[in-house]
Amino acid sequence: MKRRVFLSGLMMTPLLAPPALALVQPKRKPLATAELPLLVLDPGHGGRDPGAVSANGVYEKDIVLDMAHRLAGELRGLVNVMMTREDDRFLELDERVAFARANKANLFVSLHADSAPTKEARGLSAYTLSDKATDHFAAQLATDQNLVDERYAGKKSGQGAAVSDILFDLTAQQTVGASRYAKQQLLSGVESHITLLDHPARAANFVVLRAPDVPSVLIETGFLSNPLDEAALNDAATRTRMAAILGRELGALLQDPLFT
């Protein structure tokens, strides 16, 4: 996928492509609430862990929590939505995974707006689990994410089975396949509306994606280390439109038999 080209008049909302195409909402199934698929949204960081902090003092934990609430609102009635945290609290990475598994989520989406390994990086990207990272960029993001528990809880994350062992399990292989499909479908669906990072489909050993029985995707909605991404993510109107675009795609994705 090619990098989206920004128009000069859209500098305040650089994560969004020109709104030339109207958003088309997916058709809704006439299902009872109990029958709807479950999406678990995981706003990254929280509490004593601020996540990335921009040059202007914008906290990642606040941006992604607000985005998650807006996204949940977009999906109301189309899928069931639960959030690993609904307020400003700290959760260990393993707790987030356990939450999705305990509630038998059909899909787990972890939302972030980190600092990028390179200053010029900007745009939305999506990541799935792999014991070998697709590139140094993804590996560095995973390394930084996986140190959260050590920094803020005084313990290391993911002391269970190694990722390579997880991936050999038949159920886990199916889960990884569904995760990769979700990643590709999401990126394909949003690329005409949201600016994407170069090579936006990536993979690495993220602890938060290690549920062997729940398809999981980590979405970097942008990077607070980039001034233009920061301006966009800190704008409520931009977050509302991003939530509408992501909500449309997630709603359609969760009607796929692979996730029901």
Task: Judge whether residue 8 has pLDDT over 50.
Answer: no
Which residues form the domain of 242?
Answer: 8-18+33-259
In a domain, 79, yes or no: yes
In a domain, 2, yes or no: no
In a domain, 25, yes or no: no
- Residue 34, pLDDT score: 66
Q: What's the mean pLDDT when you consider all of the chain?
A: 88
In a domain, 225, yes or no: yes
Using CA atoms, how far residue 66 sits from 32, 42, 90, 112, 207, in Å, is 27, 11, 16, 11, 23
Average pLDDT over residues 4-17: 47
Window from 19-28, 158-167, 187-196 with minimum mean pLDDT:
19-28
- Residue 157, pLDDT score: 64
In a domain, 23, yes or no: no
- Residue 195, pLDDT score: 97
Window from 23-27, 31-35, 156-160, 173-177 with minimum mean pLDDT:
23-27
- Residue 202, pLDDT score: 98
Per DSSP, which regions of 188-238 are E strands? 196-204, 216-220
Buried b (16+ CB within 10 A) or exposed e, 125-162: bbbbbbeebeeebbbbbbeebbebbeebbeeebbeeee
In a domain, 28, yes or no: no
CA distance 68 to 131: 28
In a domain, 52, yes or no: yes
Average pLDDT over residues 36-40: 97
- Residue 32, pLDDT score: 53
Give the tens place of pLDDT for each residue, 77-136.
999 999 999 999 999 999 999 999 999 999 999 999 999 999 899 999 999 999 899 999
- Residue 252, pLDDT score: 97
- Residue 21, pLDDT score: 37
When divided into structural domains, the chain yields a total of: 1
- Residue 175, pLDDT score: 94
Residue 161 banded pLDDT, cuts 50, 70, 90: low
Query: Is residue 197 within 8 Å of residue 121, measured between CB atoms?
Result: yes
Crossing angle for the helix pair 236-253 and 60-75, nearest 10 degrees?
A: 50
3-state SS class at 144: helix
Proportion of the chain above pLDDT 70, given as a percent: 85
What is the C-alpha end-to-end distance of the chain, expressed in Å?
A: 28
Q: Which helix (H) or strand (E) holds 42?
A: strand 38-43
- Residue 27, pLDDT score: 47
In a domain, 246, yes or no: yes
CATH of the domain at 138: 3.40.630.40
Task: Judge whether residue 1 has pLDDT over 50.
Answer: no
Give the tens place of pLDDT for each residue, 203-234.
999 999 999 999 999 999 999 999 999 999 99
- Residue 35, pLDDT score: 86
- Residue 62, pLDDT score: 98
Give the tens place of pLDDT for each residue, 63-92.
999 999 999 999 999 999 999 999 999 999
Per DSSP, which regions of 72-195 are E strands? 80-83, 107-112, 124-129
